[in-house]
Amino acid sequence: MRTYDCDGLTNFRQVPAAVVLPESASAVQQIVALCHQHRVPFVARGSGTGLSGGALPAEGGIVISLARLNRILEVDLANARVVVEPGVINAHVTARVAPYGYFYAPDPSSQSVCTIGGNVAENSGGAHCLKYGFTTTHVLAMDVVLPDGSLIHVGSATGDAPGYDLCGMFVGSEGTLGIATRIVLRIVRRPQTVRTMLAAFDSTDHAGQAVSDIIAAGIVPAAAEMMDRLSIAAAEAAVHAGYPQCDGLLLIELDGTEEEVDWLTRHVSDICRACGAWEIRIAHSDAERAAIWKGRKSAFAAVGRISPNYIVQDGVIPRTALPRVLREIQQLSAATGLRVANVFHAGDGNLHPLVLYDRRIEGQEQRAEELAGEILRICVRAGGSITGEHGVGIEKREFMPEMFAEPDLATMQRVRIAFDPLGLSNPGKVFPRPRLCAERQGKHEPHPIEVAGIAEYF
Ligand SMILES: Cc1cc2nc3c(=O)[nH]c(=O)nc-3n(C[C@H](O)[C@H](O)[C@H](O)COP(=O)(O)OP(=O)(O)OC[C@H]3O[C@@H](n4cnc5c(N)ncnc54)[C@H](O)[C@@H]3O)c2cc1C
């Protein structure tokens, strides 16, 4: 059971009371109904690659692993849909439909191992979500086992469903509203031409300016990713991607018809040069394209080559604030003496600063956590968000009041309680404890929800 005591955020650990690996949706229903009957908290788990402690079990709670619900149930090309069980690995969806000229667009860097169920719960993103949208855009309908064991159907495989958008609400709910057991996904026709290019700049400022200028020119690349010198060094050490050595590297992918992509390539190259790019490389084969992406997709793990420990931060800022925010992060890094590597989805302003530290040096872990927290505050001050795609989980629940007023949080909590009045489905996640500022200051009047004795679960 120790295998299940944490997810990708390894500094929070809790050995579960039991781990169950159901093989069917009805088995999931039975397990959840038993939990409900005996008041046992549970947490759904896909591949455990989450980076915010989402799949961390509650004390005395069980883990419901969906790993064995891993079948692709239906491929409906005529309607551009695929029906999957939640334990299907993200990359397997594209692998299954690629021979017919389709792909599944949301592509987290962990796509070779993470599951669709986990992607749905976190509303995961990836490099190609800039143009094609996050997971929520691609989930049409779902079967969900509610925390009392009943099964509901949300969304519609054929178009807009009347009534509340419960499917939209479930996506991103981090396992707190129930367990998805069957998911209908939208697949996308592969464009005629895909072109991947690299542009090397002397600074992340210049690279960030190029991204802003490209989008201001009305061009939405399929992907626009940025890496700084430190993350390039890590990726090179791990996978030898052949990147140019520079302080700001842009990976840009353009897709469409041949003529469109030719025109876009010229236009984007001109913008990059005007912003100071001194080298522009275009991938001329699938192998070159794959090498460019391999470096980027391996970058988080590659940082293990240059630092014994690191924190992966995830925050969002308006794209136009990129140069300023990156400078502020640099200043914090210099002031604390901790290195920060940056590798991120520049097109949608989704930063992933990696705070490097050595746990063996006393006090460094704490300083790294403080620095990572300060980066989130910078994001919020810049008009952004405390998470772009990794979720709140347990890691960021204390930051929720930095973004939301108390009525906002109370409304979210009411939604949670409507689905899960006993607070058994992934308790302790998303909502801060104690929740209210007044509660923190010891002068809190209990809210009716809390009087009902429910708040202690959240
Ligand atoms: C190297 C690396 C790179 C990453 N890159 C990205 C990236 O580019 N973009 C991105 O968005 N994320 C990224 N992540 C984070 C992570 O991979 C995603 O959050 C992913 O969606 C988690 O999927 P999983 O199957 O591992 O879910 P888990 O970690 O097992 O669970 C995540 C959450 O989903 C819930 N859950 C799982 N299955 C279900 C279900 N069937 N029903 C309801 N709730 C469920 C769990 O309770 C938990 O709260 C990365 C992680 C790593 C380690």
Structure tokens at 312: 């992966």
Q: Give me the percent of the chain exceeding a pLDDT of 90.
A: 84
Domain boundary among 267, 301, 335: 301
- The H or E element that residue 236 is part of is helix 229-239
CATH number at residue 175: 3.30.465.10
CATH number at residue 54: 3.30.43.10
78: pLDDT confidence band, cut at 50, 70 and 90?
Answer: very high
Q: Give me the percent of the chain exceeding a pLDDT of 70.
A: 95
Same domain for 9 and 99, yes or no, is: no
pLDDT over 60 at 454, yes or no: no
Residues 439/189, Cβ–Cβ less than 8 Å: no
Over residues 426-440, the mean pLDDT reads 74
Domain holding 19, by residue range, is: 2-65
Q: How far apart are CA 345 and CA 278, in angstroms?
A: 21
Same domain for 78 and 167, yes or no, is: yes
Tokens 């990147």 correspond to: 243
pLDDT, position 202: 96
Same domain for 329 and 369, yes or no, is: yes
Angle in degrees, CA 16, 21, 27, rounded to 5 = 115
Beta bridge partners of 182: 143
Q: Which atom of ligand 1 is nearest to the CA of 300?
A: 1
Distance of CA 105 to the CA centre of its chain: 14
Same domain for 173 and 200, yes or no, is: no
pLDDT over 90 at 150, yes or no: yes
Q: How many domains does the chain have?
A: 5
Same domain for 288 and 355, yes or no, is: no
Residues with CB under 6 A from ligand 1: 7-8, 43-51, 54-55, 66, 86, 108-110, 114-115, 117-119, 121-122, 124-126, 174-175, 179-180, 300-301, 389-390, 426
Residues 122/139, Cβ–Cβ less than 8 Å: no
Same domain for 135 and 36, yes or no, is: no
CATH number at residue 378: 3.30.70.2740
Helices (H) and strands (E) in the chain, counts: 17, 19
319: pLDDT confidence band, cut at 50, 70 and 90?
Answer: confident
Same domain for 95 and 145, yes or no, is: yes
Beta bridge partners of 181: none
Q: Which atom of ligand 1 is nearest to the CA of 175?
A: 44
pLDDT, position 457: 44
Mutate to test the pocket of ligand 1, among 114, 176, 352 (most ligand atoms within 8 A of CB): 114
159: pLDDT confidence band, cut at 50, 70 and 90?
Answer: confident
Same domain for 233 and 161, yes or no, is: no
Domain boundary among 156, 189, 222: 189
**DSSP, residue by residue, 249-297:** EEEEEEEESHHHHHHHHHHHHHHHHHTT--EEEE--SHHHHHHHHHHHH
115: pLDDT confidence band, cut at 50, 70 and 90?
Answer: very high
Over residues 296-317, the mean pLDDT reads 91
Same domain for 78 and 175, yes or no, is: yes
434: pLDDT confidence band, cut at 50, 70 and 90?
Answer: low
How far CA 450 is from CA of 235, 272, 410, 433, 447, in Å, comes to 49, 55, 11, 13, 5
Would you call 218 exposed, middle or buried from its count of C-beta atoms within 10 A (0-12, 13-18, 19+)?
exposed
442: pLDDT confidence band, cut at 50, 70 and 90?
Answer: low
Q: How far apart are CA 230 and CA 300, in angstroms?
A: 11
pLDDT, position 11: 85
Q: How far apart are CA 337 and CA 315, in angstroms?
A: 21
Task: Determine the distance separating the centroid of ligand 1 and the alpha carbon of 153, expressed in angstroms.
Answer: 22
Q: How far apart are CA 33 and CA 150, in angstroms?
A: 8
